[in-house]
Structure 1
Amino acid sequence: MTQETRTESPMTKLARFIVDKRKAFYLIFTAVVLFSAASIHKVQINNDITSYLPSQTETRRGLTIMEEEFITLGTANIMVSNVSYETALDLSEQIAEVPGVSQVEFDDTDAHYKDSSALFTVSFDKEEADPETEAALNQVLQVLEGYDVYSSTQIGRDVSASLQKEMTVILAIAAMVIVVVLLFTSKSYMEVPVYLIVFVAAALLNMGTNFIFGTISFITNSIAVVLQLALAIDYAIIFCHRYMEERDNGLSPREADIAALSKAIVEISSSSLTTISGLVALMLMQLRIGFDMGIVLSKGIVCSMLCVFLLMPGLLMLFSKPIDRTRHRNLVPKINFWGKAVVRLRYILPPIFLVVVVVGAVLSSHCDYVFDANDTDFDNKPDWRIADEKVADTFGQKNTLAVLVPRGDYTKEGLILERVSQLPQISQATGLANQEVEDGWMLTDQMNPRQFSELAGVDIELARLLYQAYGLSVEEYGAIFQNPDDYSVPLIDVFEFLLEQKDKGVVSLTGEQEDKVEDLREQLDIGLEQLRGENWSRLVFVADVPTEGDDTYALLDEIRAIAQDYYGDQVILVGNSTNAFDLASSFSGDNMKISILTALFVMVILLFTFKSAGLPILLVLTIQGSIWINFSVPVLTGTNLFFLSYLVVSSIQMGATIDYAIVITNRYLELKTIMDRKQAAVEALSQSFPTILTSGTIMAVAGFLIGGISTDATIGSVGQTLGRGTVTSIVLVMTVLPQLLMLGDALIERTAITLNRDRAQRFNKGTMRLDGHIRGHVSGFVDGEFKGVLHGSVDALIESKYQERKLPGEQEDDTP
């Protein structure tokens, strides 16, 4: 009597459950995807990169104070080229008449008229973000219509909106490229709709669940979808290729789906660990935008894996017949010629590679990193950046710096303004202490009653009573017991006291006096709202220096030293230059942290994957070499690089492109057990080429599209660097890595960690069906992956996920 024993691994049972319950998963994913699509608008986008600075940095502390205590009215530097001075003067008068414009600065000095170009410094009544300010600016530009105009301003600069338009174009082009690549590398045309459904579902899941973080950065929001697609596309490809292999082995769609999924879950999970490890390293950055990008992209990887594991099996069953009907010949050519060339050059390329890696490491360490996106050498510039550069080239840099000091001592503020304004780099200094009210009087000048009555147009007796009342309110009783005309008070303080008493009805003014006081009130309000807060005073300087660099940082130190002469450590500097300095300070630590942690995480994962201490070194050396080569390119081309590009791309390049190296290494290790090393290397390259071609092409194209289309220097720089790094990794993996594997074979074997305790010794007679790994004697020695039927005597080490045995004339054997 024949008895059958069927044993299934837990992974096969899980795969069978997913495939059999596919309709339930259809309903679940439909509901979740609809919810996610409806939740996308709930995600808040943060356009301010400075908000991700550590809270203890000077820039972050200063910005917080300014947001709480001050307003910043809109301003614009508008340059008109090829215009005479008389015409420019007439235009300035027309601009001043535009509703919403409070002031226009223009004269015949080099600061405003130079080389037939006029520079109008326009101030507005409202804050930068106020719609009325943007409307007023548009009217100003209408006045200048027909002239050669360059407007340098933050007003109306909606970076997020323009990015969304650009990323929509990028995503559309990327989708077309992906479809073409998938059609070329697929075995059936109907695989592509399955891929697209899975990708769209995963993208919507990730985008729609970002609301759980409250706010994400504009950088993350812009590139997350494209990077998620590029990073996670491998998972769907691995699963689909497994499914097609099982179908080619004669299994039915259901059984092929189950068998493929049971294998793909482990393979994909292992592959994702290297990618996620790079993103985890990114999340540990001191600059919190790294956490923002890392957590969103990690969630995207998880969403992609869930869609592949839970949704895609059902889709393959649903499309199984169309997939079978639309099969086509393999369009990816065999590249044995390439593998043979690589093998022949195995003693030539590795030494060259090691030299290039050393040179790349040295050069990349000298890369000129910049910390203000507007300073990047980026060709695809938006109109506003072109305008900024035109104005700077003609009239010099307009680098604005705010100095915050404790409120209350106008004399100290005046001394700081006077000393700093004498520095040769400073073109403008503004504070309450140098705001002229009338006839040379400044807001903070000391005034006696007679001087105040003349300035404010009030009666002298009223002025004396006002001074006495003020002295009583601040407990300065000398104002009462001495001659009031000898009592002096800062103009700003006594004027505010007058307005307070007037508003209370204590002081009554005549019509002419009322008009004069209201005019002064308007001037006072403009100055106070921008320059004096509840606890701090703000001094604003404009310097003709770049945003960053040694000269700029030396100027910051000089200004800080002057202010500290009067206020000690209670001085805070804020501006684009201090922001660049703080970012530069955190970069060195983040740079080292990400490089070490990413390599360490990946090496640990590879150690457990390949059970060899030497093999991870060869793989990481290959990818780290590609990273060094990638970041030596800016040095060789004499261009700079935005610092965030290095931090983001180095972690993604190591975490994601290491998968290419893993694919080839896995193939090589399997093949060398049944053929010599040269043949194994040639065949490994040929078998791995379709996977690397598909994944690598998509990631490289995604990067180059972002870099070529986006006008945002931050995102464009990341895209360019990612595309270049992916291509570099592919080239090294397809050339140097197989050579290192062959030459380092002895190292790999000697550092191997044998973990065979879980492999049971089997002694069976009869017929055994298995799907797994076998090593030993089967009427001859066998070592390799085997799918089929063995008949005879077996004496071997077996690792099998599925077995079915027939033992004639014997009791059922429960051996696992």
Structure 2
Amino acid sequence: MKRKSFREIMNKIGGFIIRFRLPIVVVIAVLVAFCAYGITKTNINSDIMSYLPEGTETYDGSEFLSKNFGIESNAVYAVKGESVSYEDLALAVEKAKEDEHVTDIMWLGSMNAVSFGGLKLDDPFSLMEGGDVTKEKLKSVFYKDGDYMLMVTMNVGASTNEAGASLAHINAALDDAGATYVAGGTAPVSRRVYDDAISELPIYLSVAVVLVLIILFLVSANWLEPIVFMVTMGVSIVINMGTNFFFPEVSIITFCAASILQLALAMDYSIFLTQIYSEERQKGLPEKGAMISAVGTTLNTVFSSALTTMGGFAAFFVMSFTLGADLGGVLIKGIFLAMLTVIVLQPCLLILLSKPMAKTKHKRLIDIKFRNIAKFSVRHRVVIVILFSLLLIPAFIGQMLLPLSYLNFMPKTEGDPDLVTYVSDTANQIFLAVPVDKNDPTKNVSFAEDLENIEGVTGVAGYFAFLPKEAIDENGRLHLKSSVFSIDPVALGKKSGYVTKDNYTLYLVSLSKNYNVESQEATDVLNKIKAVAKTTFTPSKIYSTGVVQAVADFRVLTPRDFKWITLISVGIIFLVLLFSFRSLVYPLLLVLLIELGTWINFSISTIFGQSLNFLAYIVVGAIQLGATVDYAILVTHKYRALCKEGKDPLLAAYESGTSCTMSILTSASILVTACASVTVVSSNAVIKEVTMMCMRGAAISTVLVLFILPSLLACTSRIHIRAAEAGGLSKLTKKFLTEVNRQLYYGALVAKAKYRIGKNKLLNKTECVEDLGARGLVIIQPKKGYRFNSDSVILANLAEVNEGEKVYDLGCGSGVIALLVAAKKGANVVGVELQESLASMAERSVKANAYEQKVTIVKGDIRQTETLFPAGDADAVLINPPYFKVGCGEASPDEMKAVARHEIALTLPEELAAVRHLLKEDGRAYFLFPASREKEFDDETKAASLFLAEKVYLTSSEEKAPDSFIAKLTKTPAGETATRTLVTKDEEGKPSKEVAELYRS
């Protein structure tokens, strides 16, 4: 009852969509326009360190600097001394300071104009004891080999538009002075990350669209379908990216990666809807009715698929690193919008384009089954399952040993090599905020000296770092030479902005360029710096931030985030699978299989000594699990359906693998090619590595699902029951191999038949070739006009014909019944056909299948049977005559269809007369006739002196009256007529179990 109610709701939704398709398209077009505008107004954050959570030293230090020193970001400029004079550079610095977001610029001239107790001193250090040493110290930091260093701090975030404008202002000031310079630091790096990513985004999106379209054209059966798919996905991507405007900001990683992942992960939904729609059309439903039915079926199936994918992404919200929630939220929104767009927009497009799409149908260019792989997998299932089990442990260990990187996505600084070196030597700064001892400021001066003595520290900048200790007396006051005048250095620092009201000051500690910020050496230096600070200023709190500190924080957070994301994504997907399969075995097998794929993916990098960015390490596992578990679900659902149909587990495992091959390969190919476009084009290491790992992971998961999953399914509990029935596992395996070898043999026959058609030019432009799905037979029939139906196949299979008997197929059409009877029964068949075009097709079909020795096609009029064929020549006669009398119903304007369906050239009495003439005394005739004319058939049969031996009524449902029947006639009395009913369809509209058995017989 619930299912019917759900179906009714789905039908109403589908009906509403189809009825209002034009308004829906218009509304969505307007929405797309608004969202396209929203994309341009979305705030994009390219400062990855800003996503570190509260409680980390980087976050706390950054917050402290922002509140107390007005520092949100920094920039480091190395200026070529040969390109600009000291005076011009001083003017440029002053001009740069005019920017409202520049809080300070420290450089060689920073301490040259200091207000000392109300007096303006141009060279204060020359008037202080030890000032010469301080001046040399200043030079060592801000003046090296004739080049200048500018350390800029700003009160806006590194990736903000304001920071970009401030950098432009500074650059303009330096350009006006004629300076040659190179910039580093958080703000310039964030700007380069942003500029590079935004410039590359349209390139790899375009490449991805082209590659995905090529795949869709190869696997689809219509030239317009891929365009509809891409438009549907494009609309969902634009809406997803445009609605990011409502978020405070999105990361540059999310902005660039989400669109390509959405395209790759959700394209399946579009393909599935079209496949269901085509199946409904094949059942005979009209366009709108078929689409209404397809919408309900698609929503039910796609929702389950989307739920597993979104379940993987939902785990991102537990990440301490808040970029996870940023990425997860946009991806979940994208998958949901993609599903919604497929359900709402795509049906409208398919109905609106139905006429041109009807003209652009074509045969699929690629149709792969991987039958031998599935056969190998099932045959050697025990060995493969053992290997699968053995792989789990080393793969798990391998992924745990993967070396990680943290900030390797930062673009390299380019320009004058000497300036690049200078920037690199200074950009790896640690911002260290420590308390000021107002009673003994020499402690802060000595602290700077202690920092300089740490190996790996190349320079220390800061207010107290540049104060000469000799100029401070025992009372903590700063003196000038030969003067009784003194000043409190702490008060002076507060007035200049170098000491906060809470008595904290800032040191900028530069690490050697020989220390990579991610190296253990850099971390060791950081720990030594913080140890000295804590020893000096205990118990006061120390604040540190900067790239080296960020790496240290990332190292702490990554294992925790990875563990929780893995557990939660696996848990969510396991629960979804548990609800779907209502079994513990299948969810456990599928999750283990895809997790193995993830571990192998990571282990490959471990084996080759490749490091992986921590963010890729954290998110790729969940993405791979959520994206590729659908492959395993598809195969497992098919396996269970085949088992319900009565197939043994081995054959069900084999056929589930082969039947799903193209769907899996299509989905995986789209994911691989879309991600490959980003991997090749993008220069951002994070985006590049995330997509590269997704690409490789999809390929690995595909191999595991197609190669290992059939083995796992073949070893489930069902096999023991079937093995007992078969007389043991070896006999069950032998039976399986016999059946599979038979299928492979028939597949080879189909390939040979198609080769003969091409080689001998047996096919006309208005015709097509179809696989009959039995005994390796193909049939040539018109693309439009008369085409055989399933009842013809049922007739050929129900007829009792023995090997070597002579059979007549009257009105043989394109030769379907004749070929099936010859192939499956081993009979010698004569096909008789009045229409020259159909007789020609039948004759060419016989040649294509190399059945010339078994089937003869005669172009002739059945009404002239007595003159064409000898009496009593047939052991059996089969006939699928026209169903309708002339004048009953509207005749088709197509002559071929009209003659096949209406008694224009042949009436029922004439058919029966021909049958009586041909049959031997002990012969059998099999008629396929409409149930609506049953009484007429019975009367005419009696009038023709033929006897009804059996009737098989054909109906698509037990609840419906029969549509037609197959009558067995004899020339001699057969006693009471036996009757039975054959249901031809199951609940899903597929061939029933009994009909499927007939097909396989």
Equivalent residues in 2 for 1:216-255 (5 A)? Answer: 216-255=250-289
Equivalent residues in 2 for 1:751-766 (5 A)? Answer: none
Q: Which of 112, 115, 123 is matched with 2:150 structurally?
A: 123
Partner of 2:401, secondary structure, is: coil
Question: How far does residue 591 in structure 1 lie from its aligned partner after superposition?
Answer: 1.0
C-alpha distance in 2, partners of 1:615/1:251?
35
Q: Letter of the 1:431 partner, please give it.
A: G
2:518 match: 548
Question: How far does residue 314 in structure 1 lie from its aligned partner after superposition?
Answer: 1.2
C-alpha distance in 2, partners of 1:219/1:7?
40
1:743 match: 715
1:493 match: 491
C-alpha distance in 2, partners of 1:52/1:143?
35
Equivalent residues in 2 for 1:122-521 (5 A)? Answer: 122-123=149-150, 127=154, 129=163, 130=166, 131-136=168-173, 152-153=184-185, 156-157=188-189, 158=191, 159-335=193-369, 336-374=371-409, 382-384=411-413, 399-407=428-436, 409=438, 410-436=441-467, 441=471, 446-447=476-477, 451-452=479-480, 489-491=487-489, 493=491
TM-score by length of 2: 0.62
1:656 match: 627
Cα contact 2:141–2:461 (8 A) shared by 1: no
Change (3 A) 1:194 1:444: farther
Partner of 1:329, secondary structure, is: coil
1:644 match: 615
Question: How far does residue 618 in structure 1 lie from its aligned partner after superposition?
Answer: 1.0
1:38 match: 37
C-alpha distance in 2, partners of 1:305/1:693?
21
Cα contact 1:18–1:313 (8 A) shared by 2: yes
Cα contact 1:95–1:143 (8 A) shared by 2: no
Q: Letter of the 1:194 partner, please give it.
A: V
> What are the superposed Cα offsets for residues 541-586 of structure 1, whole Å, 9 maximum, x if unpaired?
1122332344333333322222223241411111212111112212
Equivalent residues in 2 for 1:699-718 (5 A)? Answer: 699-718=671-690
C-alpha distance in 1, partners of 2:10/2:494?
78
**Residues 557-566 or 782-791, more deviating:** 782-791
C-alpha distance in 1, partners of 2:399/2:421?
30
Q: Letter of the 1:352 partner, please give it.
A: L
Cα contact 1:96–1:103 (8 A) shared by 2: no
Q: Letter of the 1:698 partner, please give it.
A: I
Cα contact 1:674–1:783 (8 A) shared by 2: no
Matched, 1:625 2:623: no
> What are the superposed Cα offsets for residues 93-128 of structure 1, whole Å, 9 maximum, x if unpaired?
589748525846999999899xxx968342167859
Q: Letter of the 1:208 partner, please give it.
A: G
C-alpha distance in 2, partners of 1:7/1:724?
39
C-alpha distance in 2, partners of 1:680/1:287?
45
Q: Percent identity?
A: 27
C-alpha distance in 2, partners of 1:278/1:787?
34
Q: Give the aligned length.
A: 684
Q: Letter of the 1:601 partner, please give it.
A: I
Partner of 2:694, secondary structure, is: helix
Question: How far does residue 166 in structure 1 lie from its aligned partner after superposition?
Answer: 0.6
**Residues 603-612 or 533-542, more deviating:** 533-542
Question: How far does residue 694 in structure 1 lie from its aligned partner after superposition?
Answer: 2.0
**Residues 261-270 or 558-567, more deviating:** 558-567
Question: How far does residue 40 in structure 1 lie from its aligned partner after superposition?
Answer: 2.2
Change (3 A) 1:155 1:445: farther
C-alpha distance in 2, partners of 1:496/1:739?
74
Change (3 A) 1:747 1:718: farther
CA RMSD, aligned part only? 4.0
Partner of 2:433, secondary structure, is: strand
1:479 match: none
C-alpha distance in 1, partners of 2:306/2:662?
19
Matched, 1:595 2:595: no
Change (3 A) 1:784 1:366: farther
> What are the superposed Cα offsets for residues 65-85 of structure 1, whole Å, 9 maximum, x if unpaired?
212332569654659xxxxxx
1:606 match: 577
C-alpha distance in 2, partners of 1:312/1:607?
31
Q: Letter of the 1:363 partner, please give it.
A: G
C-alpha distance in 2, partners of 1:389/1:622?
53
Question: How far does residue 430 in structure 1 lie from its aligned partner after superposition?
Answer: 2.1
C-alpha distance in 2, partners of 1:643/1:574?
19
C-alpha distance in 1, partners of 2:38/2:56?
34
2:977 match: none
Partner of 1:270, secondary structure, is: helix
Q: Comparing both chains, which one has the higher relative contact order based on Cα–Cα distances under 8 Å and sequence gaps of 6 or more? A: 1
C-alpha distance in 2, partners of 1:403/1:496?
17
Partner of 1:56, secondary structure, is: coil
2:605 match: 634
Question: How far does residue 414 in structure 1 lie from its aligned partner after superposition?
Answer: 1.8
Change (3 A) 1:7 1:736: closer
- Give ranges in structure 1 of 5+ residues lacking alignment: 80-87, 376-381, 464-487, 498-524, 751-762, 770-777, 793-816
1:476 match: none
- Give ranges in structure 2 of 5+ residues lacking alignment: 94-105, 110-134, 723-956, 964-979, 995-1001
Partner of 1:428, secondary structure, is: strand
Matched, 1:562 2:597: no
Question: How far does residue 6 in structure 1 lie from its aligned partner after superposition?
Answer: 13
Change (3 A) 1:592 1:492: closer
Partner of 1:638, secondary structure, is: coil
**Residues 242-251 or 668-677, more deviating:** 668-677
C-alpha distance in 2, partners of 1:275/1:549?
36
C-alpha distance in 1, partners of 2:547/2:534?
21
2:726 match: none
Equivalent residues in 2 for 1:73-88 (5 A)? Answer: 76=76, 78=78
C-alpha distance in 2, partners of 1:493/1:764?
97
Q: Which has the higher Rg, Structure 1 or Structure 2?
A: 2
Change (3 A) 1:395 1:548: closer
Matched, 1:17 2:52: no
Question: How far does residue 388 in structure 1 lie from its aligned partner after superposition?
Answer: 9.4
2:989 match: 787
